[in-house]
Amino acid sequence: MKYTDKKIVIIGAGPAGMSLAASLHLAGLDYVILERKDGVGGQLPLIHNDLDDFVVGVYRDGLDFVQKLIDFNNKYRLNIEFGCVVKSVDSSKKKIYFIQNDIEKIHAYDILVIATGSRHRLAEKRLIAGFEKDVYYRISHKLNEFDDKNILVVGGGDNATIAALKLSERGRKVILINKNEEMISRPDLVSEVYSNPKIVVYNNSELLHLSGEGLLEGVEIINNNTGIKQKLAIDKIVFKIGYLPNSGFVDERIDLDDKAYIKTKGKYQTNIEDAFAIGDIVSGAYKRIAIAMGHGTELGNYFLKEYLVK
């Protein structure tokens, strides 16, 4: 038995794509990673808090973890092309169209693996216009800015409840508004939020508008069940309203869910033959670095033991 000589193209050099590439590289297979940025790690540099996904150790922040990826790449020299902005994928012709250094290029592939992850969902521009400096999406590197402030957290998932609990240690008061009937966060986090005397929760509620002279001074929210509006004194707002998948370049032949994440089955196979997806871009995937890395490692093992074996 031997491996096929198929060309594998991985889009994205985050933890998922790097983990897959490591398996392929050490086996001597023909692959390349196309990465939009000038370095590895994807969204990791934007994470400023401790990373505790791993029982073998805790990383100081995303940059600390990125350095480990850089160290690995310096040793093994993975085949990565940086600065590649993918514009489209034609899965029928098996071609990727991208721009690198202002030059339009095409990469043909035999096997495609999409590992482009996701990004924070941002608030509507019209809603926060004029108050951008008091609006946050990440808080760990700016916790001192919340000292003794009235803080509004928007969202009902794990990230929202974790942020509310963290901010309750610094702020005067934390209000959490959640558009759903109940919070969708883990039960232990929800219980902790409700038992915290500094946190007030408004379910079935949404943010209508912000107010203030130069600085944010207040907000108006509405209860979607009763239609009752309420004004709150607020100094800072933290949005934890989910993520958006980086799937805009994916062609229409590949099935997406209603949020534009890529549907997969079995070993991360899409509905198109020879097209796979791993990491945060996968429909239903829980967003943890260790899980994304596990996707890459598991797919690599599948390639090496089954999919690419003649």
pLDDT tens column, 259-294: 999 999 999 999 999 999 999 999 999 989 999 999
Q: Report the pLDDT value the prediction gives residue 100, as an integer from 0 to 100.
A: 97
The more confidently predicted of residues 156 and 50 is 156
DSSP string, 33-54: EE-SSSSS-TTGGG--S-B---
Question: DSSP class of residue 146?
Answer: G
Q: Report the pLDDT value the prediction gives residue 241, as an integer from 0 to 100.
A: 95
Average pLDDT on 34-50 reads 89
pLDDT band at 152 (very low <50, low <70, confident <90, very high): very high
Question: DSSP class of residue 91?
Answer: T
C-alpha to C-alpha distances, 224 to 39, 200, 208, 221, nearest whole angstrom:
44, 17, 11, 9
Do 288 and 8 meet the contact criterion of CB atoms below 8 Å apart?
no
Token duo for residue 105:
């290029």
In sequence order, what are the residues at sequence separation of 6 or more whose Cβ sits closer than 8 angstroms to the Cβ of residue 60? 50, 51
pTM for this entry? 0.90
Pinpoint the alpha helices (H) of 143-203: 158-167, 187-194
Domain architecture of the chain: domains with CATH = 8-120+243-307 (3.50.50.60), 125-239 (3.50.50.60)
**Best CA proximity match to 94, nearest among 251, 200, 281, 307:** 251
Token duo for residue 254:
């590949």
Token duo for residue 162:
């974790």
**Whole-number average pLDDT of the chain:** 95
User: Collapsing DSSP states into helix, strand and coil, what is residue 23?
Assistant: helix
Q: For tokens 């514009």, what's the residue? A: 87
Q: Report the pLDDT value the prediction gives residue 166, as an integer from 0 to 100.
A: 95
pLDDT one-digit tens code per residue, 179-212: 999 999 999 999 999 999 999 999 999 999 999 9
